[in-house]
Structure 1
Amino acid sequence: MSRKVKWGVLSTADIAKRCTIPGMQKAENCCLYGIAGRSKEKVDQYKEIFGFEKAYYSMDEMLDDPEIEAVYIPLPNTLHKEWVLKAAAKGKHILCEKPLSGTEADVKEMIDACDKAGVLFMEAFAYLHSPLITSVKATLDSGIIGDLSFMESVFITPGYTPDNIRVRRETLGGSVYDLGCYCTSLMLTLFGEEPKEVKAIGHFTDQHIDDFASAYFHFDENRRACMVSGMCSAQRGDRFFLYGTEGTIEAPIPFNADGELTYYVKKGEDCQEVHVSVRDNYCLEVEQLGNCILNGEQPHVTHEFSLQNARVMDKVLKEIGY
């Protein structure tokens, strides 16, 4: 049997329970070795539900265990930097939830610390590992819709209760940090460069976070993009459309979707359906970082990409007055 990476999950956050740990269970090169948190009750519960080998009742205790090779960090945005630096200092490879931190400067400090410690470090954009994104990029690059001239992306959800970290200023909540980062990261992936101009507006709640934001991006050669992020809709809605000089690609598909997915390539009266089989995106990202650790692959979400996305988000947040 091939060797598996011994993973530790640094916190009992909801995103870990709902999405990432179930994905880790499916990953062929992942051993669910440890779960850590401040609540003994929740840690014991996660250990029983998911079958972790060990429980740790402080996060430092997990980092001190030499058996742990890699950690997944699903903590609130404001805690990412602290625990990435601590994990790197202990020689652990790191998968950290998006967005990596609040600013490009923080992201650079995290990257530099991981490079100095000689550990792998990747931002957890699970959807970027999806064969759907690979297929859309290949279709775009084939020239079938001509040159990309405009892109629109939307990610909106219902609101959250006031105690949710996604809507609290002290945990860097808000729609741009939580949802808009998907739109900006996809835009960078498909355009392959950073925009030259960013304009944005936002609406702020009494808790001083943006529950709605809309941004405009201008690229070289008069190419453009727009995004909408919001925590203000009765229903979740996420999708992206690409407009070329000869046709369009329409992907009315949720981020991080799996199963049998379909997007549409339209040229004049012709509409082609493209079907893609997609495994659990969270499983794919864990397997990919595992392959980096075990087989010398390079992280799919690179440091430069994370810095680019942080720079774009900084500009959007500055524009809306966050």
Structure 2
Amino acid sequence: MRKVVWGVLSTARIGIEKVLPEMLASPLIELRAIASRSLPAARAAAQQLGIPRAYGSYEELLADPEIEAVYNPLPNHLHVPLTLQAAAAGKHVLCEKPIALSAEEAATLRAAAGRVRIEEAFMVRHHPQWQRARELVRAGRIGTPRAVQVAFSYFNDDPANIRNQAAIGGGALYDIGCYAILSGRWLFEAEPRRVVALVDRDPALGTDRSTSALLDFGAGRQLAFTVSTQSCPYQRVQVLGTRGRLEIRIPFNAPRGGAMQIALDEGGALDGSGVQVETLPAAEQYRLEAEAFSRLVRGEPGPGYGLDDALAQARVIDALWRSERSGRWEDIA
């Protein structure tokens, strides 16, 4: 396959430290340019990573006729505006999560998504451990899945950090709660019908520092999660079925090139003696994500998650915010 030529909007830490090194290692990708509102910052990132071109504005990169696809890891409130600009320039866009701050805002991408490919960047869907977990559930190894339980937390109370700035989409639900929602949608292979949320906001920052929720997927299927930006670092996904359970031990921040493990318990012994641990091959989930997107850009077959999938995510988050305000169950609009 002919390489897809990529550009990157911003020198965001997630890109510099995690995504871009994996993209640079791919035989399907040519990472040709990086842009920042600060030309020195763009040049420093380009030199560090070996990217040929550096631009001092996003508009300059989008005007580069050789760039075919763009990775957008900008702060949450800039996801839609810059994705629209990229699409208007004829670039395909892999946009970091959440793709928008509301379903209404996400829907403004619909016309652009008819011209270029736009996808919300959930790298976990491409990791072997997530694909194996779904395979085990589909095969009935835990019986009928009844509950997915997710815990995801870290500690960061720095007011200068964009994750702690409410006006631009900071807080636990937008940053990591989206992964919990995806966990239920991925493993149940369904959409939730209604939700209820309990939100604790930082009195100084205004962001949700801890959010817990219960999502009703119908047919007795439930997703329960707690996410927090001010708790000890931890993450786990449990799937409970009628005959067993499985556990993804490092579900979201799988280390680069790490061999991950899934624990499968078909015996149900309370002391864990029935647990079988399966080690998955080492993988680089950001590289797999970008390669899958590149194949779709070239018209090759493969898994794709377009705007409808991103809208489904956004509708759930909208309903959780409504539940925070109402204190009641809220239907997914």
Aligned partner of 1:172 in structure 2 is 169
Corresponding residue SS for 1:260: coil
- Counterpart code for 1:81: V
List aligned pairs for 1:229-268, cutoff 5 A.
Answer: 229-233=227-231, 235-258=232-255, 259-268=258-267
Question: Could you report, residue by residue, the CA deviation over 1:235-270 in whole angstroms, capped at 9, with x for unpaired residues?
Answer: 311110010000111122141414111111112243
Using the TM superposition, give the Cα deviation of residue 26 of structure 1 relative to its aligned residue in structure 2, in angstroms: 1.7
SS at 1:236 equivalent:
strand
1:39 deviates by 1.1
* 1:168–1:209 contact (8 Å) kept in structure 2: yes
Q: CA deviation at 1:6?
A: 0.9
For 1:187, the aligned partner's letter is: G
Q: Which residue of 1 aligns with 2:58?
A: 59
Quote the residue 2:17 is aligned against. Answer: 18
- Look up the equivalent residue of 1:109 and give its one-letter code: T
> What residue is the counterpart of 2:305 in the other structure?
301
Aligned to 1:282: 286
In the alignment, residue 72 of structure 1 is paired with which amino acid?
Y
Show the counterpart of 2:117. 120
Deviation at 1:170, TM superposition (A): 1.5
Gaps of 5+ in 2: 327-333
Counterpart CA distance in 1 for 2:156 and 2:320 is: 21
- Answering whether residue 102 of structure 2 is matched by residue 103 of structure 1, we say yes
1:299 offset after TM fit, Å? 4.9
Is this contact kept in 1: 2:72–2:79, CA < 8 A? yes
Deviation at 1:272, TM superposition (A): 1.8
Conserved? CA contact 1:215–1:226, under 8 Å: yes
The code of the aligned residue for 1:253 comes to: I
Q: Distance in 1 between matches of 2:18 and 2:74?
A: 14
* Residue 4 (structure 1) shift: 1.1
Q: Is the helix fraction higher in 1 or 2?
A: 1
Q: Give distance in 2, aligned partners of 1:218 and 1:254.
A: 22
The two structures have a TM-score, normalised by structure 2, of: 0.92
The list of structure 1 runs, each at least 4 consecutive aligned residues, that deviate by more than 4 angstroms after superposition, is none
Contact 1:158 1:231 in 2 (8 A): yes
Selected match of 1:135 from 128, 132, 135: 132
Q: 1:81 to 1:292 in 2, by over 3 A?
A: same
C-alpha distance in structure 2 between counterparts of 1:262 and 1:149, whole Å: 22
Report the secondary structure of 1:219's partner residue.
Answer: strand
Cα pair 2:157 2:230 within 8 Å, conserved: no
- Native 8 Å contact 2:117 2:306 kept in 1: no
In the alignment, the residues of structure 2 paired with residue 101 and residue 81 of structure 1 have an alpha-carbon distance, to the nearest angstrom, of: 6
Other structure's SS at 1:227 match? strand
Q: Against the structure 1 CA distance between its residues 286 and 94, is the aligned structure 2 distance closer, same or farther, given a 3 Å change threshold?
A: same
Alpha-carbon distance in structure 2 between the residues aligned to 1:273 and 1:20: 28
- Report if aligned partners of 2:154, 2:228 keep a CA contact under 8 Å in 1: yes
Number of residue pairs the alignment of both structures matches: 318
Aligned pairs for 1:67-78 (under 5 A) are 67-78=66-77
> Does the CA-based 8 Å contact 1:125-1:301 persist in structure 2?
no
> Which residue of structure 2 lines up, in the alignment, with residue 153 of structure 1?
150
Distance 1:305 1:188 in 2: 10
The partner residue of 2:208 within 204, 207, 210 is 210
Instruction: Give the superposition deviation at 1:85.
Output: 0.7
CA deviation digits over 1:196-237, x for unaligned, max 9?
22111111112211000000112222221201110111x311
Question: In the aligned structure 2, how far is the partner of 1:297 from the partner of 1:313?
Answer: 30
C-alpha distance 160-3 of structure 1, shift in aligned 2 (>3 A): farther
Shift of 1:40: 1.7
The separation in 2 between residues aligned to 1:228 and 1:17, in whole angstroms, is 28
Q: Distance in 1 between matches of 2:149 and 2:173?
A: 15
2:5, 2:283 → 1: CA distance?
22
Give the distance between the partners of 1:147 and 1:254, measured in 2 at CA. 21
TM-score of the aligned structures, taking structure 1 as reference length: 0.95
* Range moving further from structure 2, 207-216 or 12-21: 12-21
1:195–1:217 CA contact under 8 A, matched in 2:
yes
Contact 1:217 1:226 in 2 (8 A): yes
Q: Which moved more, 1:102-111 or 1:284-293?
A: 102-111
Distance 1:22 1:113 in 2: 29
Which residue matches 1:223?
Answer: 221
Deviation for aligned residue 1:3: 2.1
- Contact 2:80/2:99, CA 8 A, preserved across alignment: yes
Amino acid at match of 1:223: R
CA RMSD of aligned residues (A): 1.5
Runs of 5+ unmatched residues, structure 1: none
How much does 1:300 deviate?
2.8
Structure 1 residue 297, shift from structure 2 partner: 2.8
Is residue 2:195 matched to residue 1:191? no
